[in-house]
Amino acid sequence: MEILFRNVRELVERAEAENKLISEIMIEQEMIITERNREEIMNQMFRNLEVMEAAVERGLNGVQSVTGLTGGDAVLMQNYIASGKGLSGDFILDAVAKAVATNEVNAAMGTICATPTAGSAGVVPGTLFAVKNKLHPTKEEMVRFLFTAGAFGQVVANNAMISGAAGGCQAEVGSAAAMAAAAITEMAGGSPQQSAHAFSISLKNMLGLVCDPVAGLVEVPCVKRNAMGAANAMVSADMALAGIESRIPTDEVIDAMYRIGKTMPVALRETAQGGLAATPTGRWLEKKIFGSAAPANG
């Protein structure tokens, strides 16, 4: 079985040599790996897109988690955008609102698509549905956005890690932001190499980010980190589209993330033993939620 790419260098080189979009290379790779036809693969991604859209809409209407730690922030951000007082620009804030919306649905035990994980599931759909309002893509182009994100995510998963327990939040929200940046770049007409630069710029700026969930729950600070991941992805895509390049090659950035993750203390890798989880308020919230019984990973 021929694998079309194993790293970003091979992915970009193949896309450029064959004059194809990165999303097309990923679709072809999926056909080879899964032994399914194009229609089956596209239909599955269309279903994923529908799940994402439903999660965004549900979150924007307002949800609350059982613990009460998260919920309602997507509504607050939408109201703030409508007020016209936003400082960061409505486009970025819309992506932030939709990223938060998705992760609030996750915290409320709703249905989301892990991109690449549940804890980082807001960034890709948040940016996609914000970009939709500006670039007006077709449904197929929106699905291609997901395949492009998936191509880069596949490289990270196979060559580093996407789990907070394995490598900290840099591996989750960091990867998600970088995946989204690459996909935004392609949708906006950028080259395969520009998508790679956008990915690199985004991930570089999240290296070392720890995973420190309060009370061991994927709520605080996870939801707000998805907001920052979405903003990071948007700015990184703009930088790449402007012609700004990453001096460190993408595969080396991914390797750096892997090495940082391997040396990160266990207390900062989803164990709720350090970082924000270990603050006085973090411990108070843990006790308030669980009483004397700590969560399994706490």
On whether the CB atoms of residues 129 and 101 are closer than 8 A, the answer is no
What pLDDT does 292 receive?
Answer: 67
On whether the CB atoms of residues 186 and 203 are closer than 8 A, the answer is no
Mean pLDDT by 10 residues, the chain (298 residues): 93 98 98 97 98 98 97 98 97 98 98 98 98 98 98 98 98 98 98 99 98 98 98 98 98 98 98 98 97 58
pTM: 0.96
| 3-state helix/strand/coil string of 103-159 | HHHHHCCCCCCCCCCCCCCCHHHHHHHHHHHHHCCCHHHHHHHHHHHHHHHHHHHHH
Domains and CATH numbers, the chain: 8-290 (1.10.4100)
